[in-house]
Structure 1
Amino acid sequence: MSLYKKEKLSGWGNYPVSESYKVQVRDAGDVTRTLQQGSLVPRGLGRSYADQAVNDNHYVGDCTKLNRLLAWDETTGILECEAGVSLEDIITSFVPRGWLPMICPGTKFVTIGGAIANDIHGKAHHIDGSFVNCVLSFRILLADGRILTASRTENADLFWANFGGLGLLGVILTAQVQLRKIETTYFKQKSVVIKGLDHMLEALDQYDHEYNYSVAWIDAMARGNKIGSGVLTLGNAAKLAELPPKLSTNPLQLHKTSKLTVPFFLPSFTLNNFTVKVLNRVIAFVQNSPKEFIHYEKFFFPLDAINHWNRGYGKRGFIQYQFVIPEDNGRQHLAEILDMIAQSGCTPFLNVFKRMGDGQGLLSFPFKGYTLAIDFPVTDGLFAFTPKLDAKVLDAGGRLYLGKDGLLNEGMFKAMYPQYTEWLAVKRKYDPEGKFDSNIGRRIGLTKS
């Protein structure tokens, strides 16, 4: 390992920090040579929140140089590209031609390889599903040096196991993805002020068939009959004929490069219940927008407007705790979970609530139900609280999103994802020596090195 330089690496939450050997991956040879030295995990733009793409005292393969667009079919909207291509790259290249990625998460700074490894989802999961639904096939480099094509009909077990597989089966080199044809880059939106949890669930039911996209901000500090209050934002892709004259002159407008940035880690004393209450009022005001039409940048990627916004949580970092629970008894379980959070003493920021549709795959996170994502700054009390929250989520029939998780233990993971045994069978088949490894792989028992 002496030929490689050790670096301190972390996910977007800046917790935990790992010392790993970072290797620039430009071709398959870079990977095979590194695997002769030790285990490796592929890494994209580092937007997984915790230890998904770090590998203590072993290798991390930076795949961002695998970023070429290889083939494009204007008729079908099928793009072939290398796995280090980001959603921003695709948007910048294809929005002027009238195409957008089919599945957009909360940031455009995600590589195609990372989108597959975490099977990302967006505001329309109940309609469009997760990222697997727009991937036709991919080529993956295995630990023994073979490069296989995986699809629904060719090496299907390898195909399905990679979605949510956290990069632990190989390095994806290229992928074929389906883009969505658009007339404009705007969305017609509606905001609904939500008075409480019953109102929230009723509103989701009411607008379920009217709007394809829906997401809610919840005031996680609310108590009593205000628990679950917030703002529900709904939207549909705007047709060209719907746009007002001011917007129709440039209906396929691209996003601008953000000039706002958080230049340094903010001190931890700025994160307290008072600042959260102030922030909640600001978010409620912004989310309850009177604008009928909104650009995709603000609709899909509002936080991308601030570079390095993760520094706002201070040097200790934060975790994003995202769970999904079934709709059955969902109201009761959500109320109990929100009450636990409000009384925990762990300050919750940026609480995003959505409805999910049917799931698929072995370790893919989504299933039909309700999902809530909460940012928790890292504090001493957090480590005592999350196991209690994990137990409550499991009791409700739910599970955590592995692409964001930073604290789940092996026993709890296996209880939440009973399909892990099927995934391990695929791992043994394609990587019997466990060459692909990571901190989260070891933490939750997917790898043992």
Structure 2
Amino acid sequence: MSLTQQETLAGWGNYPFSSSYTIHPTEVQEWQQAVQQGNFIARGLGRSYADQATNKNHVVGIATKMNRFLHWDAQQGILQCEAGVSLEEIITVFAPQGWLPMICPGTKFVTIGGAIANDIHGKAHHVDGSFMNCVLSFTILLANGEIVTASRTENADLFIANFGGLGLLGVILTATLQLRKIETTYFRQQSVKVKNLDEMLAALEKYAHYNYSVAWIDSLAKGDQLGRGVLTVGNAASLAELPPALQQKPLQLHKKSVLQVPFFLPGFVLNNFTVRILNKVIGFVQNSPKEFIHYEKFFFPLDAIHHWNRGYGKRGFIQYQFVIPEAGGEQTLRTIMEMIAKSGCTPFLNVFKKMGQGQGILSFPFAGYTLAIDFPVTKGLKAFTEKLDKVVLDAGGRLYLGKDAMLEPAMFQQMYPQFTEWLAIKQKYDPENKFTSDIGRRLQLS
């Protein structure tokens, strides 16, 4: 395999950029050939936010051409597919048959391999857990060229370590997934406007009986309005619940969006003034009076605008997402929100959720509160995130590695003390360290 041309890659945040040699395998033999040369990482649709699927001066295998459905059990809702299949492709084919993916994050443009590598989660983590819970097994190409099956009973250490393992243990080739049976593609929702953090946490408890919940928080609110926003909760709608107009097409698919941000916007467009205006618009939209809403708007509201990440400009942005224990969580959240409001680092799109029990080794979620904040990249951002890291760590929390762009290895090791267990599995299956990436080197995982 001759590699002579590099491609500049980045994650969804367009920060940092990295030049890598890219290949687009269509068959297993091409993956095997690439892996034998070493210094290799697989990549899906590039929706990790930072350097999770970049590999400076080394090889990146883009998996999107390995996207075939292999077997479908229509009675049990069990799908076997290649790892380059996206959630959008699964939804498009199987939603009209009455099935949806069990775990849906904030975008449908993620591959199954990427979903495993980052152990994605959604609005129902407190009920359904993370992506691991819908994967029955997968096949993986190891560093020695062997292809093995991993499940909860076969190569179980390899199975569990891949969820949140950032693709550093091998190339996921195929996966067997459990889908969720549905009567409609609609959700019955309720929006609750809250005035501050106290009301937000109380609302989370009051509406905890809903399977799905997520909150938008005004990132610039201060004082007695700190933490104000809108909590949206919902459950899957049954056919009998739908109004007559929606019952005509209960398994309606999403429409292909024609909206997009065609180019990188100038950096000055997003500032405190414009964010205040946008926050008012988002708050109005989130506080929707609609009782029934389509899955597209319920799960994937930002997918309606292609390349929305360009709105942050060429400087790029990071998404800083942390989880902290519920005990003492209110004070920690208050401290962090006050720090953000005073930081001078313009925050945007604060998303707040309550999570359920965690699992895995490097998997991110555990029971507690999670907050995700978008920050445009500025000169003082790195120093500020280091201050946030310390507060999160002192609270017993950690950052989501699938979105992280700036974490230092010493802080990572304190947030994920189980990393030594993961490294032992890495040594077992990849002793020559053939699977590498920029985040792997940054966090000393490869």
TM class by shorter chain equals over 0.9
Matched with 2:339 is 340
- Do the aligned residues in 2 keep the contact of 1:4 with 1:22 (CA within 8 Å)? no
C-alpha distance in 1, partners of 2:82/2:3? 27
Tell me, yes or no, if structure 1 residue 354 matches structure 2 residue 353. yes
Aligned with 2:333: secondary structure? helix
C-alpha distance in 1, partners of 2:348/2:3? 42
Report matched runs for 1:138-153 at 5 Å.
138-153=138-153
C-alpha distance in 2, partners of 1:23/1:424? 27
Matched with 1:412 is 411
Matched with 1:199 is 199
Matched with 2:56 is 56
- Do the aligned residues in 2 keep the contact of 1:4 with 1:23 (CA within 8 Å)? no
- Do the aligned residues in 2 keep the contact of 1:123 with 1:214 (CA within 8 Å)? yes
C-alpha distance in 1, partners of 2:110/2:329? 31
C-alpha distance in 1, partners of 2:385/2:96? 45
C-alpha distance in 1, partners of 2:202/2:334? 15
Aligned with 1:137: secondary structure? strand
Report matched runs for 1:37-76 at 5 Å.
37-76=37-76
Tell me, yes or no, if structure 1 residue 35 matches structure 2 residue 48. no
Matched with 2:81 is 81
C-alpha distance in 1, partners of 2:282/2:3? 48
Tell me, yes or no, if structure 1 residue 101 matches structure 2 residue 106. no
Matched with 2:250 is 251
Report matched runs for 1:273-292 at 5 Å.
273-292=272-291
Matched with 1:118 is 118
Q: What do the CA deviations read for 1:376-396 (whole angstroms, capped 9, x no partner)? A: 000101111110011111011
Matched with 2:20 is 20
Aligned with 1:36: secondary structure? helix
Shift, 1:31, TM fit: 2.1
Matched with 1:438 is 437
Shift, 1:36, TM fit: 3.5
Report matched runs for 1:90-239 at 5 Å.
90-209=90-209, 211-239=210-238
Shift, 1:3, TM fit: 2.9
Indicate the RMSD between aligned Cα atoms, in angstroms.
Answer: 0.8
Matched with 1:3 is 3
- Do the aligned residues in 2 keep the contact of 1:323 with 1:401 (CA within 8 Å)? yes
Structure 2's unaligned 5+ residue stretches are: none
C-alpha distance in 2, partners of 1:371/1:355? 6
Matched with 1:320 is 319
- Quick one: which amino acid aligns to residue 56 of structure 2? D
- Do the aligned residues in 1 keep the contact of 2:321 with 2:371 (CA within 8 Å)? yes
Aligned with 1:179: secondary structure? strand
TM-score by length of 2: 0.99
C-alpha distance in 2, partners of 1:268/1:72? 47
Matched with 2:380 is 381
- Do the aligned residues in 2 keep the contact of 1:354 with 1:372 (CA within 8 Å)? yes
Aligned with 1:199: secondary structure? helix
Q: What do the CA deviations read for 1:41-99 (whole angstroms, capped 9, x no partner)? A: 00000000000000000000101111000000011100000000000000000000000
C-alpha distance in 2, partners of 1:32/1:435? 12
Matched with 1:296 is 295
- Quick one: which amino acid aligns to residue 97 of structure 1? Q
Aligned with 1:214: secondary structure? strand
- Do the aligned residues in 1 keep the contact of 2:315 with 2:377 (CA within 8 Å)? yes
Aligned with 2:240: secondary structure? helix
Aligned with 1:331: secondary structure? helix
Q: What do the CA deviations read for 1:270-316 (whole angstroms, capped 9, x no partner)? A: 11100110010000000000000000000000000000000000001
- Quick one: which amino acid aligns to residue 305 of structure 1? A
- Quick one: which amino acid aligns to residue 92 of structure 1? T
TM-score by length of 1: 0.98
Aligned with 2:173: secondary structure? strand
- Do the aligned residues in 1 keep the contact of 2:36 with 2:145 (CA within 8 Å)? no
Aligned with 1:241: secondary structure? coil
C-alpha distance in 1, partners of 2:120/2:343? 29
C-alpha distance in 2, partners of 1:155/1:435? 20
Shift, 1:38, TM fit: 3.2
Shift, 1:2, TM fit: 5.8
C-alpha distance in 1, partners of 2:34/2:102? 34
C-alpha distance in 2, partners of 1:4/1:173? 26
Shift, 1:4, TM fit: 3.5
Shift, 1:137, TM fit: 0.1
C-alpha distance in 1, partners of 2:95/2:22? 33
Matched with 2:307 is 308
C-alpha distance in 2, partners of 1:79/1:32? 25
C-alpha distance in 2, partners of 1:198/1:435? 49
C-alpha distance in 1, partners of 2:109/2:2? 32
Aligned with 1:96: secondary structure? helix
C-alpha distance in 2, partners of 1:81/1:440? 27
- Quick one: which amino acid aligns to residue 288 of structure 1? N
C-alpha distance in 1, partners of 2:192/2:386? 34
Aligned length: 446
Q: What percent of counterpart residues are identical?
A: 74
C-alpha distance in 1, partners of 2:31/2:207? 48
Report matched runs for 1:415-426 at 5 Å.
415-426=414-425
- Quick one: which amino acid aligns to residue 396 of structure 1? A
Aligned with 2:37: secondary structure? coil
C-alpha distance in 2, partners of 1:398/1:90? 34
- Do the aligned residues in 2 keep the contact of 1:356 with 1:368 (CA within 8 Å)? yes
